[in-house]
C-alpha cells in the first residue's frame, strides 16, 4: 500500500475516532465535514467531504455505544460493512 494511501487512512481514522468519541463533533462532521476536519488541523479532499456528508450519524452513535460497552473487546466487525467508499 502506498505511503500516501496509508496516511489518508490514518487521517480518516483519526477523524472517525473523534466522531465516535464526541457526538457533537459527529454531528458537525456530518453537516460541515471540511470545518470539522479543519478543527483537527486536517484538510479533506472533495470525495472525503462527500463521504462524510453521507455519514449515518445514528449508526455512528450506536457503534460508539457498543464500543464503550464492557463487551467491546469481544466484538468483531465485518470490515466490508465499515469501509468508506
pLDDT tens across 23-50, in order?
Answer: 889 889 989 999 999 999 999 999 999 9
- Is residue 47 packed enough to be buried (19+ CB in 10 Å), middle (13-18) or exposed (0-12)? exposed
Lowest mean pLDDT among 44-48, 55-59, 68-72: 68-72
pLDDT of residue 81: 54
> With the C-alpha atoms ordered 62, 75, 54, 32, is the resulting torsion angle positive or negative?
positive
pLDDT of residue 74: 58
Residues with Cβ within 8 Å of residue 30, at least 6 apart in sequence: 52, 53, 55, 57
pLDDT of residue 10: 87
Amino acid at each position: 500500500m502506498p505511503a500516501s494511501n496509508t496516511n489518508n487512512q490514518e487521517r480518516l481514522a483519526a477523524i472517525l475516532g473523534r466522531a465516535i468519541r464526541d457526538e457533537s463533533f459527529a454531528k458537525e462532521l456530518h453537516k460541515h465535514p471540511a470545518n470539522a476536519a479543519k478543527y483537527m488541523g486536517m484538510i479533506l479532499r472533495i470525495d472525503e467531504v462527500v463521504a462524510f456528508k453521507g455519514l449515518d450519524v445514528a449508526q455512528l452513535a450506536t457503534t460508539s455505544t457498543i464500543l464503550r460497552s464492557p463487551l467491546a473487546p469481544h466484538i468483531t466487525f465485518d470490515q466490508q460493512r465499515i469501509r468508506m467508499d
